[in-house]
C-alpha cells in the first residue's frame, strides 16, 4: 500500500520523541548526544529517528556506526537507485573497523526527474540538521567516503509537496490506548471516570453519553484506580466495589442499562448498529444517548422507549448498516431520520455537516478506539480518515475556517496535515 510522503526540510523540534533517547522518555536508542537526551547531532541518531517518524513504530535499522547499516541483516530491501524515505549509506575505509572512520547515512526527501536527490541528515559534533543535494552517479557524492547504496523503507511512498496547514495540530498520542486515554483525560481536566472494559469498545461507545452527562472521562479498566470511577460499564464486575455497575449479558443489554440510567428527559437518540458500530464513533462527538440495535429493535427496548414522549431517533449509517425494519419499528414511537455516507469516512463527514455546520474545530482519528477516546474532548466533530480516503474530509473542510485541529491516537501527523492543508 502506498502512503503520501511529506518531506522534512526543517530541523526536528527539540525533544521530539523520535530523536529523543529512551532514557529521556523518547523512542530513540542510538547514542545519546546531549545531556537532555537528544540523539542528534549525529547522522545515525537522525536517520534512525527519521524512519521512526515516517513509519510510526520502532523499526529494525541498525544503531551502530553508519557504515555498518548497509550490510546489517535487518530484512529491508537494498538497491542502487534512490526511493523516497530510503537511507543513503556511505562507508569510510573497512566496514566494521571504526578506527578508519564510521561512514555516513542520510535520508532521501525528494527525487528529481534528472535523478537529483535531496537528502536530510545530521553530522556528529556539528550540524544538528541539514539539507544537501546529490546528482547521479552517486559514487562520488561525499568526498572521502564510498557510496554503498540505499536501504528502502517497507512502504511505497508517493511523492507529495509540503502542505501548508490551515491551523496548528494538537496531538494527543500515547504508547497505547490506555496512555492516550489518560492524556486526553488530563487535557480535559476531568477527574472522575466511567470505567470500561478494555476488551469491549462497544461498551465504551454506549458510555459516551453517560460520561458527558456526569462530566467524566472514559478510561479503560486496567489503567485507573477504581476508587476514582463513578460507573463501571460492562466487563468483569467487582462486587466489592462502591462503583455503580451498569452491565448486561451482552452489548445490547449493557447499552440498555446505560440508557435506562442516563436518558432522563433527553429527546434525541442516536441509533447505532451493534455489529457495525464504527459509524457511531463519529456520532459520539455529539454527546447524545445511544441505542444499540441488531437487525431489529428488541421488545425490552421498545417497551422502555414507548413510555417517553417526543423522541427523535437519528439513525447513523446506511440501510445496509441499520436496516429498514429498525427504522419502521422506531417510527411507531417517534420521529426517525437517517444520516449516512458511502463508507465510514463519508458518514463521519455527514455527521459533522448535520451536527456541527459552523464548526471551527475538528478532531481527526483513524480507528474506533481512538475515536472513542476523542469523543470526550467535546470539541467539534470527529472525522475518520486514512491515507486512501482523504477526499471526503478535505471537501468538507474546504470552505471552513478551522482554527483548531486535534489528532487523537495513531493517525499519522502527515495525513492529518494533508487533511487540513489549504
pLDDT at residue number 401: 86
**What would the grid cell of residue 227 be?**
476508587
Give 231 or 422, the one with higher predicted confidence.
231
- pLDDT for the residue numbered 207: 93
Is 8 in contact with 120 (CB distance < 8 Å)? yes
Mean pLDDT of the chain: 89
Whole-number Å distance between alpha carbons of 90 and 148: 5
370-398: burial string, b at 16+ Cβ within 10 Å, e else = bbbbbbbbbbbbbbbbbbeebebbeebbe
Lowest mean pLDDT among 105-109, 258-262, 372-376: 372-376
Mean pLDDT within 119-134: 94
Distance CA 208, CA 287 (A): 7
Average pLDDT over residues 182-208: 85
For residue 161, is pLDDT > 70?
Answer: no
Q: Report the CATH fold assignment for 3-159.
A: endopeptidase fold (from Nostoc punctiforme) (3.90.1720)
Cell 522534512 sits at which residue?
Answer: 8
46-87 per-position pLDDT tens digit: 999 999 999 989 999 999 999 999 999 999 999 999 999 999
251-262 and 201-213 helices cross at what angle (nearest 10)? 0
C-alpha grid cell, residue 384:
475518520
Mean per-residue pLDDT, 361-375: 91
Instruction: Quote the pLDDT of residue 1.
Output: 47
**Residue 82 and residue 92: Cα distance in Å, rounded?**
21
| Cα atoms found within 13 Å of the Cα of residue 408, Cβ hemisphere only | 33
Dmax (CA) for the chain in angstroms is: 84
Cell numbers given for 272: 447505532
pLDDT winner (highest mean) among 127-141, 206-220, 254-268, 369-383: 254-268
The pLDDT, as a whole number, for residue 162 is 47
pLDDT at residue 200 is higher than 60 = yes
Average of pLDDT values for 306-334? Answer: 97
Sheet holding 104-111: strands in order across? 78-79, 146-151, 87-91, 104-111, 117-121, 130-134
283: helix, strand or coil: helix
Report yes or no: 78 and 149 within 8 Å, Cβ to Cβ: yes
Which of the 8 DSSP states describes residue 20?
A: B
**What are residue 362's phi and psi, to 5 degrees?**
-140, 155
The radius of gyration computed from the CA coordinates of the chain, to the nearest angstrom, equals 26
Cα(126)–Cα(309) distance, rounded to whole angstroms?
73
Q: What is the mean pLDDT of residues 321-326?
A: 97
Q: Where are any strands of DSSP class E within 94-139?
A: 104-111, 117-121, 130-134
Please, which pLDDT band fits residue 415 given cuts at 50, 70 and 90?
confident
CA distance 64 to 74: 13
Residues 6+ apart with CB under 8 A from 210: 194, 216, 231, 233, 246, 258, 261, 262
Indicate where the chain has its CATH 3.90.1720.10 domain(s).
3-159
Amino acid at each position: 500500500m502506498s502512503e503520501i510522503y511529506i518531506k522534512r526540510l526543517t530541523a526536528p523540534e527539540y525533544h521530539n520523541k523520535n530523536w529523543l533517547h529512551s532514557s529521556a522518555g523518547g523512542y530513540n536508542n542510538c547514542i545519546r548526544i546531549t545531556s537532555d537526551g537528544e540523539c542528534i547531532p549525529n547522522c545515525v541518531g537522525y536517520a534512525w529517528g527519521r524512519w521512526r517518524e515516517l513509519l510510526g513504530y520502532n523499526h529494525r535499522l541498525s544503531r551502530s556506526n553508519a557504515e555498518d547499516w548497509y550490510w546489517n541483516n535487518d530484512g529491508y530491501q537494498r538497491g542502487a537507485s534512490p526511493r523516497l524515505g530510503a537511507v543513503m549509506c556511505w562507508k569510510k575505509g573497512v566496514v566494521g573497523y571504526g578506527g578508519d572512520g564510521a561512514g555516513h547515512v542520510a535520508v532521501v526527501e525528494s527525487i528529481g526527474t534528472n535523478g537529483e536527490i535531496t537528502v536530510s541528515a545530521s553530522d556528529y559534533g556539528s550540524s544538528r540538521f541539514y539539507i544537501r543535494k546529490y546528482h547521479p552517479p552517486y559514487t562520488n557524492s561525499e568526498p572521502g567516503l564510498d557510496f554503498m547504496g540505499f536501504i528502502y523503507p517497507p512502504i511505497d511512498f508517493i511523492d507529495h509537496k509540503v502542505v501548508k496547514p490551515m491551523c496548528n495540530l494538537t496531538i494527543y498520542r500515547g504508547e497505547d490506548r490506555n496512555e492516550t486515554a489518560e492524556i486526553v483525560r488530563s487535557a480535559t481536566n476531568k477527574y472522575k471516570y466511567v470505567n470500561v472494559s478494555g476488551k469491549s469498545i462497544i461498551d465504551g461507545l454506549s458510555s459516551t453519553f453517560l460520561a458527558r452527562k456526569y462530566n467524566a472521562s472514559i478510561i479503560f479498566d486496567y489503567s485507573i484506580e477504581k476508587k476514582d470511577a463513578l460507573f463501571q460499564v460492562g466487563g468483569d464486575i467487582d462486587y466489592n466495589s462502591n462503583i455503580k455497575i451498569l452491565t448486561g449479558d451482552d452489548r445490547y443489554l449493557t447499552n440498555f442499562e446505560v440508557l435506562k440510567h442516563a436518558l432522563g428527559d433527553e429527546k434525541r437518540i442516536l441509533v447505532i448498529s451493534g455489529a457495525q458500530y464504527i459509524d457511531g464513533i463519529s456520532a459520539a462527538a455529539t454527546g447524545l444517548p445511544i441505542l444499540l440495535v441488531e437487525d431489529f429493535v428488541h421488545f425490552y427496548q421498545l417497551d422502555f422507549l414507548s413510555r417517553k414522549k417526543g423522541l427523535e431517533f437519528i439513525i447513523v449509517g446506511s440501510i445496509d448498516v441499520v436496516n429498514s425494519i429498525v427504522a419502521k419499528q422506531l417510527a411507531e414511537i417517534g420521529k426517525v431520520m437517517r444520516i449516512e455516507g458511502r463508507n465510514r469516512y463519508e458518514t463521519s463527514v455527514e455527521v459533522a455537516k448535520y451536527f456541527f455546520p459552523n464548526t471551527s474545530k475538528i478532531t481527526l482519528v483513524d480507528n474506533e478506539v481512538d475515536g472513542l477516546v476523542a469523543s470526550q474532548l467535546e470539541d467539534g466533530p470527529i472525522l475518520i480518515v486514512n491515507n486512501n480516503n482523504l477526499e471526503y474530509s478535505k471537501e468538507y473542510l474546504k470552505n471552513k475556517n478551522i482554527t483548531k485541529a486535534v489528532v487523537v491516537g495513531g493517525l499519522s501527523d502527515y495525513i492529518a496535515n494533508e487533511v487540513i492543508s489549504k
